[in-house]
Amino acid sequence: MKANTPRKKHPGWYRLDNAAIIYPSIQSARITTMFRFSATLKEEVDPVALQAALIKIIKRFPYYRVRLNRGLFWYYLEHNPKTPKVEKDVQYPCGRLTPLLNRNFLFRVRFYHQRIAVEFCHVLTDGTGGVTFLKSLLFEYFNQIGKNLTDRTGILTADEEPDPGEFEDAYNRFYKPALPLPETGESAFHPKGKLVKKGLYYVVTGIIPLKDILAEAKKRQVSLTVLLTAVYMDAAQFLQDKTVKKPRHKKPIAIQVPVNMRNIYPSKTMRNFSLFVIPRIDPRLGEYSFDEILKIVNNSMMAEINEKSISRQLSRNVGGQRNPLVRIVPLPLKKLFVPLLYKRLGENLCSGTISNLGLITMPEEMKQHVDRIDFIPGPGPINKTGCSVTGFKDKLYISFGRLVRDPELERVFFTKLVKMGIHVTIESNI
């Protein structure tokens, strides 16, 4: 098939999926809506081979080979006839999309010494889609430099046709009309602090031996995500106690934990398909000990991560998108309301986000060429700090990205882990 012709089944343009519709309207120099996966290899990256691999692999992902365009009522994605190009890495990752300098693509591939990084705009996909793309790119890259990998379990390779299921907007497929609205809760505490200059984004990565932290989680009889969320929440509580003295001025602390909906609904989609659970504590009732937080987080995750509970959220979001009154509003007017909606139903309700992608798996023969996989969250100006977690081989990589100078939250978070007797190694881009 020729490179520039879109696949037969698809007319060359796509509606944005339900989660993606808000991102084009809110994206700015602060909310870049970009997140990043990077793989560090055992040897220096060859840019020529990487470019060749990218050109080959993008044919497998036609839904990423798109540019963003405006219709009268909605944004849409349109087949981009240009070829994506790899670029050199920069100091501050997840920078704003620059369609003019980036051939209109909504993702970037960057390299630096031994590292290959892909940065995705959330309009295209979520973490699962991003990491799948990175794995495919790595697989193709290794073949380009003559590693000749054969085991391709769990990897989408360039020679196969994309599955129609990968294109779908799974939110709309699993939509059930007329469910009761989910509880939104009151607005949560947000860390204070002056934002740094636009374009700056500080990243701190902590590397932890996986077996240590798993042992700690096992000792407390919770999952790894619950443990990390609880530590995050405890750190946020500490921050609020430090800045807000009067108990009645305090606000609830809520941590947003993305849930991969592919584990709940049977979908192969490579576009967005995640929603959130938001465990919360209310410090106006008194100071919570770590064990109390752990219990609350564990219980609320248990209660909320199931098909029934999460379908309420899905139903609300898709219902809003399907409402005829909403659809008829022209795009320029929609653009005025979406940021408000995002603030009220998104950022305002939580004090931070911790996104755990879990252990990244790949075939054993591919694994031996890869050192580590990192996941950097996108910047958010309201909560200032975000957190992402990936596990690879025997290590856990916890990356914080922040828009303020002071790494207060990170410091409390990691010293908390150190006090549990876990060995932490710190890296940064400052």
Residues 22 and 329: their CA atoms lie apart, in Å, by 14
Residue among 1, 42, 100, 180 that touches other proteins (CB under 8 A): 100
Residue among 1, 8, 42, 98 that touches other proteins (CB under 8 A): 98
- The answer to the question of residue 113 lying near other proteins (CB under 8 A) is yes
Residue among 39, 77, 156, 203 that touches other proteins (CB under 8 A): 203
- The answer to the question of residue 427 lying near other proteins (CB under 8 A) is yes
Tokens of 402: 């922040």
Indicate the SS3 state at residue 88. Answer: strand
Residue among 84, 95, 182, 401 that touches other proteins (CB under 8 A): 95
- The answer to the question of residue 429 lying near other proteins (CB under 8 A) is yes
State the minimum distance, in angstroms, from the CB of residue 424 to other proteins: 4
Return the closest-CA partner of residue 257 out of 238, 274, 236: 274
Instruction: Calculate Rg over the CA atoms of the chain.
Output: 21
* Contact partners, residue 260, CB within 8 Å, separation at least 6: 126, 127, 128, 273, 274
CB nearer other proteins, residue 41 or residue 297:
41
- The answer to the question of residue 112 lying near other proteins (CB under 8 A) is yes
Residue type, 264: I
Residue among 62, 84, 93, 279 that touches other proteins (CB under 8 A): 93
Return the closest-CA partner of residue 19 out of 118, 126, 144: 126
**Residue 144 CA, distance from chain mean position:** 28
- The answer to the question of residue 401 lying near other proteins (CB under 8 A) is no
State the minimum distance, in angstroms, from the CB of residue 40 to other proteins: 10
State the minimum distance, in angstroms, from the CB of residue 160 to other proteins: 33
Residue among 49, 52, 55, 90 that touches other proteins (CB under 8 A): 90
* Contact partners, residue 405, CB within 8 Å, separation at least 6: 193, 194, 196, 202
Residues 388 and 377: their CA atoms lie apart, in Å, by 6
CB nearer other proteins, residue 117 or residue 275:
117
Q: x/- string (CB under 8 A) for other proteins, residues 205-234?
A: -x----------------------------
CB nearer other proteins, residue 84 or residue 258:
84
Residue among 62, 377, 380, 407 that touches other proteins (CB under 8 A): 407
CB–CB of 184/371 below 8 Å?
no
State the minimum distance, in angstroms, from the CB of residue 427 to other proteins: 4
CB–CB of 110/117 below 8 Å?
yes
- DSSP category for residue 378: P
Number of CB atoms found within 10 A of residue 325's CB? 6
Using CB under 8 A, which of the segments 151-159, 178-186, 228-236, 414-422 binds other proteins? Answer: 414-422
Number of CB atoms found within 10 A of residue 149's CB? 17
State the minimum distance, in angstroms, from the CB of residue 222 to other proteins: 23
- The answer to the question of residue 13 lying near other proteins (CB under 8 A) is no
- According to DSSP, the β-strands at 107-112 and 86-88 are parallel
Which parts of this chain interact with other proteins (CB under 8 A)? Answer: 88-93, 95-96, 98-101, 112-113, 199, 203-204, 206, 407, 410-411, 414-415, 418-419, 423-430
